[in-house]
Amino acid sequence: MSDTPALTADVAKIMPDMLERLEALVRIPSVAFPGFDPAPVHEMGDAVVELFTAAGAAGVRLVEVPGGYPCVFADLPGPDGSPTILLYAHYDVQPAPASQGWSTSPFEPTTGEDGRIYGRGAADDKSGLVIHYGTLRLLGPDRPCRIKILIEGEEETISHLEDFVEANPEMFRADAYVIADIGGQVVGRPGLTTALRGDVACTVTVRTLEFPVHSGLFGGAAPDAMTAMIRILDTLHDDNGDTAIPGVDSGSWEGAAMDEDVYRQGSAILSGVDFLGSGSLSDRIWAKPSVTVLGMDLPTVAEASNVLLPEVRAKLSMRIAPGSDADAQLAALMSHLEAQRPWNCVVEVEKVKTGHAFKVDESNPVVIAAGKALEAAYGSAPESIGSGASIPLVASLQRVAPDAAIILWGAEDTAKARIHASDESVDPEEIARMTAAQVEFVRAVARR
Ligand SMILES: [Zn+2]
């Protein structure tokens, strides 16, 4: 921890510039979802090239990713024989529809009375961009090791980067990958994410009639598709709210505990509403599966008329336990759904995607170095936490460099950042601490 005060002072000096740059990036509505204007996404790609050029990254450039938006890439040499660290973040953001209930304009960054910067992408993941920017600036031109920069343009939607990385292993090979797109539980309390749940998804379609018919003339004997669907979906959980699908793996969490107050605040659960499931809170959100109905094709209340519905379709997502096999977990969910046929209704199940779960090897010396870097920057030892979210690229990076350490961290605190939701925000102090941690980490890995 010897040079930490000096490092903290160096970070403080560049913070006004980092925050100004962050705000400029938030102003670009880089939503890469289908149906959104591609122009701001491309504008953002150019802005990221400028950002890293300004940080001293020679040769930083846009690289076409087949089928998708370009990524930003740089390969910055270090001393001969030094290790390679790849810094990852993404420049696209989630949409920010007014229906989410924003208090401020999402693409006009606003500093709140709490000092946080509000705006879509302020945390997820434009904070990651400026943390990497600050890291490069502070390392200066004499970098202690080789550094690669990889900034994705479509992490929040259908990503094409995984295939591209696996098709170009040499370009993306590294000894350590730093994914700055996550965060600790609360600001000021360092967290190192050591497990990610995977995410598998499918659709289920239920049919009972050839076409809609009068619910008074025919209701009572002919089953409607909605009633059958409700029965099917009800089989996904037991009375306790635990996932009850044969063949789906479960686990228990051995790291730090999820703080119940943080979880209540982050999850926005109404007071008086009970938690689902059993086990510790950490078990439930980081180590056990959870299945959610994300949407259904059905008439809205306003459109509803007195008919029996012939067909209903639902999309389901299942978060799967770290260490489990995504293909096997999805197969278990799909065969469970196919086996549910109330009143012999017709059930069709289709795969949507498999996203793999991930576990960090905490005995890896590079991972230990990351923990020490967090401790130096925050002044307290980090917690080993999980994340219910999934980062599918991690599985591809593991295939490219099976022995590399994967460091998952960032400035997106669970309690208040509200990523993907309304009033997303980031705490500038967290950006400062994470920048110091990354510089410390790069220097420590280079010394090894
Ligand atoms: Zn993100």
- What is the average pLDDT across 428-444? 98
- What is the average pLDDT across 113-132? 98
Q: Alpha-carbon torsion 244, 246, 248, 252, what sign?
A: positive
Distance of CA 306 from the midpoint of ligand 1 (Å): 44
Tokens of residue 334, six digits:
């799909």
Distance of CA 341 from the midpoint of ligand 1 (Å): 38
- For 49-91, the pLDDT digits (tens) are 999 999 999 999 999 999 999 999 999 999 999 999 999 999 9
Task: Answer whether residue 32 shows pLDDT above 60.
Answer: yes
- H helices of 123-246, in order, are 126-139, 161-167, 169-172, 215-218, 225-234
How many CA within 13 A on the CB side of residue 127?
A: 33
| Residue 274 to residues 163, 234, 241, 303, 418, Cα–Cα distance (Å) | 41, 18, 10, 32, 21
Distance of CA 172 from the midpoint of ligand 1 (Å): 19
Element (H, E) at 431: helix 428-447
- For 35-49, the pLDDT digits (tens) are 999 999 999 999 999
Distance of CA 180 from the midpoint of ligand 1 (Å): 8
- For 183-216, the pLDDT digits (tens) are 999 999 999 999 999 999 999 999 999 999 999 9
CA distance 403 to 400: 9
Residue 442's pLDDT band (cuts 50, 70, 90): very high
Per-residue pLDDT at 3: 65
Task: Answer whether residue 316 shows pLDDT above 80.
Answer: yes
Burial of 140 (0-12, 13-18, 19+ CB in 10 A): exposed
Q: Name, in order, each residue with C-beta under 8 angstroms of 446's C-beta and a sequence gap of 6 or more.
A: 78, 79, 82, 83, 144, 145
Tokens of residue 20, six digits:
């100004």
Distance of CA 222 from the midpoint of ligand 1 (Å): 47
- What is the average pLDDT across 398-410? 95
Residue 1's pLDDT band (cuts 50, 70, 90): very low
Distance of CA 181 from the midpoint of ligand 1 (Å): 5
Residue 392's pLDDT band (cuts 50, 70, 90): confident
- Quick one: DSSP state of residue 284? I
Residue 2's pLDDT band (cuts 50, 70, 90): very low
Distance of CA 350 from the midpoint of ligand 1 (Å): 27
Catalytic annotation on 155?
A: yes
Tokens of residue 115, six digits:
């000092």
Distance of CA 119 from the midpoint of ligand 1 (Å): 14
Neighbours of ion ligand 1 (CB under 5 A): 124-125, 181
CA distance 280 to 290: 14
- What is the average pLDDT across 274-278? 95
- Quick one: DSSP state of residue 342? G
Distance of CA 156 from the midpoint of ligand 1 (Å): 7
C-alpha distance across the termini of the chain, in Å: 16
Task: Answer whether residue 134 shows pLDDT above 60.
Answer: yes
- Quick one: DSSP state of residue 388? S
Given 75, 152, 154, 155, which residue is catalytic? 155
Catalytic annotation on 412?
A: no
Distance of CA 200 from the midpoint of ligand 1 (Å): 18
Distance of CA 283 from the midpoint of ligand 1 (Å): 23
Given 92, 124, 154, 423, which residue is catalytic? 92
Q: Rounded mean pLDDT of the chain? A: 96
Distance of CA 201 to the CA centre of its chain: 16
**How large a percentage of the chain has pLDDT more than 70?**
99
Task: Answer whether residue 31 shows pLDDT above 90.
Answer: yes
